[in-house]
Structure 1
């Protein structure tokens, strides 16, 4: 009969448990995957047995014991080391977001201890601190991949990021809907005409006319628009070839923003956009300004849209210019009784305006999807649905007038 082993306090030690001469405790067992003898230590028997539960749970479920000491940051470093298929700009953005927001917070936690409530609490802290929901989306994207990678490696059983952002995004959407300024996501026809005429006739803002007319009348993303070079314009057939993205994002190592050229955001983004007459005229105006872009980015030069110093535009100065134009335009419009522009006018609103114009003109969903460079129809449909609400109201009024006649 096996001899019963006890510690110095007289407690019975179970199979695999040992007390060292120093008084600390050790548990030895065999890893079911590698058949190696593994060991964990603890200062007390109670602490050892808590660690035993986790270790044995791993043995029976296939989770590796090595995960006991891993932090979320360790898992991120493992994921980053082997992750393939990301554009350089996407990878840079992921790393920057992780190092800025996750590394010093959730990233310090032990991987095995992270629960969904921890992830939700982390997102809530960031949101309450002023971070936008779309930024949280990016953080969720990279974190979800990190935890998925840890599951594939056998370090954890479930992904605590699954649907962790769902409730917060719903709350954010409701908050935005409650704030009526966010309902004006597009310019109506009168606002578009006012916007263009104000820039064209204003001595301070007229150099912005070709910039924002081309943006609004083609629906290009900012990164696509600022990445345009003159060779992309086919003046013979009146077509713009969208072939690349230009981004200006922080470098994870230096935290300084740098310019990059990459392929379009999606395969669908690689497309041709026919030019309307207004776009052709706007590009002619841009040519007449004779602004030569001095920048060469990742071997690409000849950018169409550059500031007066010859440097290619990026999103921040464009959005700032739109806010200034909106403010100045509205001051004048109030005096003259003309249509007002949204005070929060920004680049993406011009892209949505283009898509809404397609809906207003009765362009079919597939063609609109292709022109916008959307990779899934749901994105296009979301804009079309909002646009067609007004169209339905007008249709009912038309039918009502017909029935009365």
Structure 2
């Protein structure tokens, strides 16, 4: 019988275990590819704990060697290589955020060493020390969660450390996702009336009326063509959008693209109400009177409806800047008028064009109870998005509903 090998303390060493000349304990084994691998520890107890982990991983089919050698950055890059379905701008957005916050920090760590608590702590640091919003953390989660999930499915790690971490983050920080509040009916009316007949801002009214009357996204409005409007049957077809994509991640000289919806829900027909029809007529007349005609040809799309004075399409930054100027002008005028008439001023909050989409949805929700109808018109993929906005109806509407309930049911 072969003589048992022992360490300096007289403990019998198992197969694959040795003691190196420097006193370190070593365990040798073959990985799933038959390649010799080694692990080390300062004492035998720790070494055997590592051995048990390797045996457990092997029984579960976990590739512990890859997990030990690959960092999160490598896993994420591999995941992104599989996402050829992403639009160029979406891909660039993912990479920008990941490169800014994850790659130089936790992204360098080995994937096997990243635990649930590490992800939670990482997100808390980003919020508390780097002042990132909860919404930005949600975006990061949407990027790295599927990368970890791919590692789980590839049997590189056993569990996804990002699973349910946002729920705990909200509990610990009290964070809430930023809400783009809709305008109240009074604010909406004041906003539109201020532009009506204004010597500077009158030509903007049809554009913002269209936003409020259809709930389209900014890129959808920018990409709308006259052929997309069925005046006879009263429908507007939404099946593409114009997007602006610049920055280092765009390797081409092209900056403006036409993008098709990511999902079937984004392709829809919106009924055209009278105010929207009137707004389109005003746009056409304004362009005729001022000699404005479409000069934009984007990916074969032309004859766009909403054009600036140069005959090119409006981009989101153009519209938001103009909107900001209108809001400032209105508030200055309203403060002056309120002081003269000794009344409380009805001021407008600073909002973006996307807030007008929420405004449309809020007005729609106040008069429509069928969530599927609202979801269809808005182009929401997830009805949960529709339900969240549905819950944000104005306080006045809630009061009216309760008063009607009390009257009809004679509660008191």
- Could you state the TM-score of these two structures normalised by the residue count of structure 1? 0.84
- Rounded Cα–Cα distance in structure 2 between residues aligned with 1:136 and 1:266: 24
Residues 376 and 82 from structure 1, CA distance in 2 versus in 1: closer, same or farther, beyond 3 angstroms?
closer
What's the CA shift for 1:216? 1.2
Name whichever of 329-338 and 186-195 sits farther off: 329-338
- Rounded Cα–Cα distance in structure 1 between residues aligned with 2:318 and 2:198: 19
Name stretches of at least 5 consecutive residues in structure 2 with no aligned partner: 339-343
What's the CA shift for 1:278? 1.7
Q: Match for residue 114 of structure 1?
A: 114
Secondary structure of the corresponding residue to residue 320 of structure 1: helix
Query: Please, what is the CA RMSD of the aligned residues?
Result: 3.4
What's the CA shift for 1:276? 1.6
Q: Match for residue 342 of structure 1?
A: 348
Name whichever of 91-100 and 149-158 sits farther off: 91-100
Q: Match for residue 209 of structure 2?
A: 213
- Rounded Cα–Cα distance in structure 1 between residues aligned with 2:302 and 2:382: 31
String of CA shifts for 1:328-386, please: whole Å, max 9, x gaps.
11111122248634322222221111112112234632222211112233322222233
Name whichever of 346-355 and 147-156 sits farther off: 346-355
* 2:156 matches 1:155: yes
Name stretches of at least 5 consecutive residues in structure 1 with no aligned partner: none
What's the CA shift for 1:103? 1.0
What's the CA shift for 1:314? 3.0
Q: Match for residue 78 of structure 2?
A: 78
Q: Match for residue 241 of structure 1?
A: 237
Q: Match for residue 193 of structure 1?
A: 189
Q: Match for residue 56 of structure 1?
A: 55
- Could you state the TM-score of these two structures normalised by the residue count of structure 2? 0.83
Q: Match for residue 386 of structure 1?
A: 392
Q: How many residues align?
A: 397
* 2:176 matches 1:141: no
Q: Match for residue 38 of structure 2?
A: 40
Residues 22 and 383 from structure 1, CA distance in 2 versus in 1: closer, same or farther, beyond 3 angstroms?
closer
Assess if the C-alpha contact under 8 Å between 1:24 and 1:41 holds in 2: no
Secondary structure of the corresponding residue to residue 392 of structure 2: helix
Secondary structure of the corresponding residue to residue 386 of structure 1: coil
- Rounded Cα–Cα distance in structure 1 between residues aligned with 2:298 and 2:74: 34
- Rounded Cα–Cα distance in structure 2 between residues aligned with 1:175 and 1:373: 24
- Rounded Cα–Cα distance in structure 2 between residues aligned with 1:136 and 1:5: 54
Assess if the C-alpha contact under 8 Å between 1:322 and 1:346 holds in 2: yes
What's the CA shift for 1:74? 1.0
What's the CA shift for 1:308? 3.5
Secondary structure of the corresponding residue to residue 165 of structure 1: helix
